[in-house]
Structure 1
Amino acid sequence: MSCGFSMNPFTIVFITLLVLVLQSLSTFGDGQLLVRDYYKETCPVVEEIVRYNLQFAVLKNPRMAASLLRLHFHDCFVMGCDASVLLDSYGGMVSEKQAVPNVNSLRGFEVIDRIKYQLEEACPLIVSCADILAIAARDAVAVRGGPGWEVYLGRKDSLTASFDGANQFIPAPNSSLETLIANFKQQGLDIGDLVALSVLAHKRLGFTGSHTMGKARCLSFRQQIHDESAEEHYDISKRYTPFRRILRSICPKTGKDNQLAPLDFETPARFDNHYFLNILEGRGLLGSDNVLVTEDHEGEIRKQVWAYAADQELFFASFANSMIKMGNINVLYGNEGEVRKNCRFVNT
């Protein structure tokens, strides 16, 4: 005679599968779900293909690492991380590529096209363009000496783009600290994320990469370097004055709009914490860099900037965590959106 109860074999199988699924999921803000090893069974070569193409692209053009990192940021801040930034104009839809922060500025689309083509050959209609952007951003940082992190996957691609959203939500190079805080808050990111991601967040009007690696066009920093009152904002100005003289030689008051200057003169090709050292000395190239210390009246942001300037590993850990958080902004998953065959166009 038995005691207790017995379960139907089908019930046991169902419960076991449910537990395995729940264990494999990682839940972020807004209840959205992205998954570890999402393509382990359906496309196990995805990360290898992305990494190979990224390394080749960066070897050919070192600025491409910063450009691909920026591409992911510009995607996530408009409608969420859904590859809307990759869509070309079609029918009545105007591409985000034509918006002021992006036109003649965003780069790396051909690299994503090449990755997508190879993935379609290996795993047709499996890997989303949004996930490609997320993996490429992580690898772009790693190939330049920055931190790595586990990219949670399962994003779907949007069916439309937002030209107006790209003009509205991507931070400008002359944004005030108050504007930047509000902008990040709207995306579900806090002040800690703002400081950690500031190395890539304050870009517009011709910026070509992340602020700890890459270059900017004269058009985007002319006002900053020709402001005679700028030195009054800094406790340390001895290194700012020669820095400004160098920039003025590159970028006069008029003309040479497309002349490039490195965002970090000391380590322009590496991902490191020199960005924070630079802004503490008043050597942030763009106005929106320097507001982290000049407009922080409470002093809390300045403390975080000092901490990152003193401890690169602390900055790397914070940056990785904030990148994971940013990568989950308004994610499409499950039956939402689609997996595009061509990242530039929707499937229908």
Structure 2
Amino acid sequence: MKQSLLFLLTITLLRAGFSSNVSAQAPLEVVLVASSHGNPSKPEKYRPIIDKLKAYQPDMVFGEYMLPAELKVADDSTYSRYTFMPRYRYIMRRTPVVPKNLAREISKQEKRLRKAPDKHATRIELARNYVLAYDRANAEYQLHILEKYQKPKFSPADLAYFDTVLGGADSLRKLKLLRPGTEYDRIYFPLVYELGLPQVYPMDCQKYDKEWSQEWSRTAVAVEALKARVKADSTSAEALTAKKMQAAVVAYHTFGDDIKPTETLTQEMIYYQFMNTPAYDAVDEAMNFYGGEALYGMPGFPTESVKGMKVQYERRNQGMCENIVRQARQQGAKKVIVGVGASHGKGMREILAAMPGVKVISYNDLH
């Protein structure tokens, strides 16, 4: 009898392990959309982009936000925490009593809203609680829903409660908890809302922010010194280096100027198509890295510190890719969309493509 039970237990464990392994290696499609942080056109101009992504029917949508658990314990000098904490303190000042079990309270509110999406008071409280839980992504998403979709249906009591708990839209915009014109406001939040997905998934990695900042500062100092030397002697060998660095800036800002919108192709559509091409990757690399690899070894160019910047940038890219795949596997997702700053596009596509069981699909291949 004991042997039979042991045999059955062994088989059960083997099956569980096999199932887990299959799940871990199940094909995962990732549409990585290199995006702009500034999208100044009217919201309707981005409708073709939203519709294109919506037709893909992803299981999850990721944004360039830190995971709450990491944001909560990050060093105060970390950029994302440094910018988030004034928002956190603002909400804390407006919260007389913080729920004892914040995670449980959030879970209860999420369930209520799935059953009754127009419970405005519940959504207002959920947005507040996401801030208190260091979940910036979903705090901003809930505030977007309230501001864009539900405010027109507010009763006077709802509006008063919104102002009491959150302080009003003007204050939220000033604190950048409402951020008109971002890729989230224009594209990804409407996408998640229209797909009926439960949340936005964060995936940013800021573990190496200190090292990145050190390399960036070292490079910036060297570049300023180079400019000063060239200003003093415009005939030096370093002058050509400075000229090529400036040319990289011009190339970036004029990229795509030769292609004009048509009745079926808006400027916004062109922009997002461009940001997801190898040609854009090249000008973006040169812009972000003071001329980039093409200038390595040129007189006065800070080659070693630029290389150091790139090392830290790729570490961040690697961390973001790992966050995406891990969470997608945990949720059993087969298709995901990732919105990320355009400068990360090339590096993250290459990392994701090398990961087992991951297929990267270009934004421009979607129809």
Quick check: which has more Rg, 1 or 2? 2
Per chain length, whose mean CA-contact separation is higher, i.e. which structure has more relative contact order (CA < 8 Å, sep 6+)? 2
TM-score, with structure 2 as normaliser: 0.31
